[in-house]
Amino acid sequence: MKISFLIHTIYGIGGTIRATLNLAEELVDRHEVEIVSAFRHRDIPLFPTDPRISLVHLVDTRPKSPTYEKDDPVHQEPSEHFPRSEARYKEYSRLTDERVRAHYEGSDADVVIGTRPGLVAYVTQFAPEGAVLIGQEHMTHNHHKPELREEMRQYLDRLDAFVTVSEGDAEVWREQMPLPDTRMLSIPNSVPEPVVAPSDLEGNLIVAAGRLSREKRYDVLITAFATVVEARPEWRLRICGWGPDKDRLRRTIDRLGLHNSVQLMGPRSPIEPEWVKGAIAASTSRHESFGMTLVEAMRCGLPLVSTDCDYGPREIIKDGEDGLLVPVGDADAVAAALLRLIDDEPLRREMAAAAIRNARRYDPGVVAKRYADLFAELGAGSSQHAGTAPAAPRTQPFAPVADCVAEADGSLTVTVVAPQAAALKHPGLRLVCTHIEGHAGERVYPLRPDGTAVIPAADEFADGHWMCHADDPRTGRRVQLTARAVDQRGSLRVAERLRTDSGVRHLVPHRRAPQQHLVLRSWVRPVHVEAADVVLSGHRLTLTGRLVGPVEPSGEPSLVLRRRGDVNDELVFHGTREGTRGFSAVIDCEAAAERLEGEHEYWEIWLRYAPGEDPVRIGRVLDDVVRKSDVFVYPDVLLHKQRSLLLARRVLRKLRGQDQRLIKVTLAYNATNRLVLHVGDR
């Protein structure tokens, strides 16, 4: 049987994309499967894709592609077949009409599945004669505007089946739009078993994931966490995802003074290595058609706190058994539920175990069987594809894929997972790490017969980035190693095993976009000052941290700010010692603004840990985050200043007639994860 999925794009991140891939990867074991992507805006999909699945794109919108088509005149003409009330109507055109029609005119698919309303309409108009037509509802009846529902009625009436992801939504569709000739039913999305070990629940992280949009109500979660952190200040909240609500959420974090406790992590794919770093998963959506992130978190062994919104959470979570359901929009209830799980470790562990058990009902094999049964009931498989074996995998080049685990002792374990038994097929295959900046030699590790290689914690890696390769010395072939999943839990907890009287040597594995290669980030600091919390009060920034290295602090510490790194141009702020190696110091942003000589400049930040000693740069390296500037973000300080007579004449001429300037002072991490103070006109 040949099955064709029609999707908006397979090259992004989202629940529909993940659900489509999960189902397709399970079906391809027994059938021929293709995913037809209306648009292609990236070279390769962000989610790894089974090579047995055929990927077809119809319109190329990659700006640098030689086949770029976004400016094609036909693409500027409106679509005649895509529903006008659909949210993405303006993205479709006469060109997409023609491409979808042309693809399916030459198709021999037995089943064609549309994955959003407009594509369901395309399926009913362009699918090959005799194919079973299925529409999927990844949102809900109530999510769609009445105009779209009415416009879609004629298309839904032509379907063989319309599948929602929750039974509650299916009931609404059956009640509000009865269609005698279309079977309406619910089949949940599937979530595979994670390739990383479940959470050990030992950390102090609450993790949330999903699109940063208003319907996810992350503002409620952040507000609730303000109550949590007041009672349990050691706990942290990480929110993974991207979307249009990022700036508003950042303002909420700053307004509540939570910049030290709440991090917006950006998109993370795959998401499982992020879930397993947590001890609790949270969701505060006002609406969920399903709740794939809830199932993902459950499969990773996390208990849940979720709003009891329509429709998915109440069908996924067994309240009091594997998670806690709370009213929509109630920040106090969210905070109380989180604190209940934080304070009751036995309950947390009991719910985590139940979550793993209960989430197995969403295994791809279980869900795919329901779809296969539906296909058979609707008569699919009577064409030439009936009874045929799935297409054989396309011949793949020598391109091993590996998982990497940062162990608790600081070592790394790299395991080749694809192609199957790659290490056995290539005796003598080695893991070779090369310094990207070219400042050090190679590090070579043999791959065992089971495909694993271990990088000991004691091995020395020069500071910088190291690319991992699979190397076959018999043939001379060496290729960059693609990472499937990178488990960074050991890197997250480096501070727990670090001796503060010795230097820093920290190795963090990660996936480098866009090809998702396995890269190791090495930090080597003979003496290091690790930044901690930053507290804003008026125009003053209080910075805390600790000294690491074989040096002895004495006397009172001081912060040294150097304009553009110039040792002859400094600002000094006296601090206090916190314990043996900790410190606290206040930066007066007014003083830095008074010294501004142009429109913009920066100050490097150093710590003098003892009188007469050379200062040490302050940065942040002791965790699992490779690029700190994207995650650890501090509020701006805004100052109204009289314009200085020390400004250069050309600047004075430019600014003549204006009495005041608004100065913005920002504390941030640079490309090497060291702190700098940016000062300049807003």
Same domain, 517 and 532: no
d(CA 210, CA 283): 9
Two structure tokens written together for 320:
């009091």
Two structure tokens written together for 628:
């700190």
Q: How confident is the model at residue 601 (pLDDT cuts 50, 70, 90)?
A: very high
Residue 424: the pLDDT is 66
Strand intervals (E) in 275-362: 280-283, 304-307, 323-326
Give the CATH number for residue 261.
3.40.50.2000
Structural domain contains residue 333: yes
Residue 427: the pLDDT is 79
Residue 461 scores a pLDDT above 90 = yes
Residue 623 scores a pLDDT above 70 = yes
Tens of pLDDT, residues 62-105:
999 999 999 999 999 999 999 999 999 999 999 999 999 999 99
Same domain, 237 and 357: yes
d(CA 305, CA 335): 9
Residue 181: the pLDDT is 95
Residue 569 scores a pLDDT above 70 = yes
Tens of pLDDT, residues 413-431:
999 997 755 666 777 899 9
Same domain, 520 and 532: no
Residue 585 is given by DSSP the state E
Structural domain contains residue 498: yes
Residue 48 scores a pLDDT above 90 = no
- For residue 341, give the 3-state DSSP assignment: helix
Residue 656 scores a pLDDT above 70 = no
Structural domain contains residue 546: yes
Phi, psi of 248 (to 5 degrees): -65, -40
Residue 406: the pLDDT is 97
Domain boundary among 307, 340, 361: 361
The answer to whether 122 and 100 have CB atoms below 8 angstroms apart is yes
Per the structure, how many domains does the chain have? 4
> What's the average model confidence in pLDDT over 646-654?
45
Residue 660: the pLDDT is 65
The answer to whether 140 and 164 have CB atoms below 8 angstroms apart is yes
d(CA 4, CA 24): 9
Residue 650: the pLDDT is 46
Same domain, 459 and 516: yes
Q: How confident is the model at residue 439 (pLDDT cuts 50, 70, 90)?
A: confident
Tens of pLDDT, residues 263-277:
999 999 899 999 999
270: preceding bond cis by omega (within 30 degrees)? yes
- For residue 413, give the 3-state DSSP assignment: strand
d(CA 25, CA 81): 30
Residue type, 378: L
Two structure tokens written together for 494:
């480096």
Specify which residues 2 forms β-bridges with. 32
Higher pLDDT, 660 or 574: 574
Structural domain contains residue 254: yes
Tens of pLDDT, residues 308-340:
998 999 999 999 999 999 999 999 999 999 999
Q: At which residue do the structure tokens 């700190």 appear?
A: 628
582, 584, 587, 588 alpha-carbon torsion, rounded to 10°: -160
Residue 657 scores a pLDDT above 50 = no
Express as a percent the part of the chain with pLDDT over 70.
Answer: 94
Same domain, 173 and 293: no
- Tell me the CA distances in angstroms from 241 to 259, 264, 293, 305, 648, one per residue in order: 17, 8, 11, 18, 44
Pairing outcome for strands 236-240 and 205-209: parallel
Residue 226: the pLDDT is 98
The answer to whether 189 and 367 have CB atoms below 8 angstroms apart is yes
How much is the mean pLDDT over the chain?
93
Same domain, 503 and 538: no
> What's the average model confidence in pLDDT over 359-380?
97
Structural domain contains residue 379: no
- For residue 191, give the 3-state DSSP assignment: coil
Same domain, 428 and 503: yes
Two structure tokens written together for 312:
């998915």
The answer to whether 434 and 444 have CB atoms below 8 angstroms apart is no
Residue 646 scores a pLDDT above 80 = no
d(CA 221, CA 218): 5
Residue 440 scores a pLDDT above 90 = no
> What's the average model confidence in pLDDT over 619-630?
96
Structural domain contains residue 239: yes
Helix, strand, coil share of the chain (percent; to 5): 25, 30, 40
Same domain, 544 and 454: no
Q: How confident is the model at residue 497 (pLDDT cuts 50, 70, 90)?
A: confident
Same domain, 409 and 443: yes
pTM for this prediction: 0.91
Q: Which residues contact 613 (CB under 8 A, 6 or more apart)?
A: 551
Give the CATH number for residue 447.
2.60.40
Residue type, 349: R
Structural domain contains residue 427: yes
Domain boundary among 525, 557, 588: 525
- For residue 64, give the 3-state DSSP assignment: coil
Q: How confident is the model at residue 294 (pLDDT cuts 50, 70, 90)?
A: very high
**Other C-beta atoms within 10 Å of 213: how many?**
15
Same domain, 211 and 326: yes
Q: Which domain holds residue 109?
A: 2-186
> What's the average model confidence in pLDDT over 555-572?
96
Same domain, 238 and 222: yes
Residue 648 scores a pLDDT above 50 = no
Tens of pLDDT, residues 225-250:
999 999 999 999 999 999 999 999 99
Express as a percent the part of the chain with pLDDT over 90.
Answer: 85
Domain boundary among 495, 525, 555: 525
Residue 159 scores a pLDDT above 60 = yes
Structural domain contains residue 276: yes
Two structure tokens written together for 281:
């998963």
Residue 476: the pLDDT is 86
Q: How confident is the model at residue 389 (pLDDT cuts 50, 70, 90)?
A: low
Same domain, 167 and 269: no
- For residue 256, give the 3-state DSSP assignment: coil
